[in-house]
Homo-oligomer: A and B are copies of this chain.
Amino acid sequence: MQPRRPYRRESEERRREDLIAAALDLVAEGGLHAATVRAIADRAGVTPGLIRHYFTSKEELTRVAYQRLMEQMTRDSAAVLLDGANNPTAQLANFTAASVSPPVADSVAVGLWAAFVHDVRRDAAMREIHTANYLAFRDMLQRLIAALPRSSSDAQLRRDAIACNGVIDGLWLEGSILPEAFAPGEIISIALTSVGAILNVDLVAAYQPDRTQP
């Protein structure tokens, strides 16, 4: 008879984190159907039964993983606002560019995001997660637009934010799924021009590429 596999006890937080990360990993690699209970457990270095000890069902794990993914993406976009923030126009330009560049714009990230779209449509809890994160991103964008040196009504601000968010999302999508269809930097340049045209601001001139990376 085989000896029982040895193991270490870990904190609840650590275990949950590992399982979530493993699940997202697998979804990114092989789609939702690749993230089976057994595969997730294997990737996280535990046995399948443990998943049901931390999550009441696979569905719950899925929800939590989606929440984690959305948080991460919003955080990545916002990260660019922290360093090198000179003036509002430059900030908006940098934010726009970052949203259509890696790591936000990335084939794996889009695949991951798309895998959950169906559940978002169907499951109320997933829908709530989506709505909250979408609005958080858009609000961030709207605040950047509001800070521009120009006057604009609240209603117009909302429309501008939706429009700019649209361009960014669309270019994010296409650039990520079909990167070979565009020249290097082309998507960034088009994003800056388009958002600039919508807001009547010169973002191309204001753009300050991150100089820490050549």
Contact = CB atoms under 8 A, between A and B. Distances in A.
B190 A162 contact: yes
Interface residues of A, number: 46
Interface in A118-155: 118-122, 130-131, 134-135
A202 interface: no
Interface in A28-46: 30-33
Contact of A110 (B115, B117, B170, B190): B117
A127 to B, nearest CB: 8
Given A117-B110, A118-B111, A166 B178 contact: no
Interface in A143-177: 159, 162-163, 165-174, 177
Contacts of A167: 163, 166-167, 170, 194
A91 interface: no
Nearest to A120: B177
A187 B122 CA distance: 22
A53 to B, nearest CB: 25
Given A32-B32, A166-B194, A194-B194, 6 more contacts: A31-B32, A110-B121, A163-B190, A167-B167, A169-B173, A170-B173
Interface of A: 30-33, 107, 110-111, 114-115, 117-122, 130-131, 134-135, 159, 162-163, 165-174, 177-178, 181-182, 186-187, 189-191, 193-194, 197-198, 200
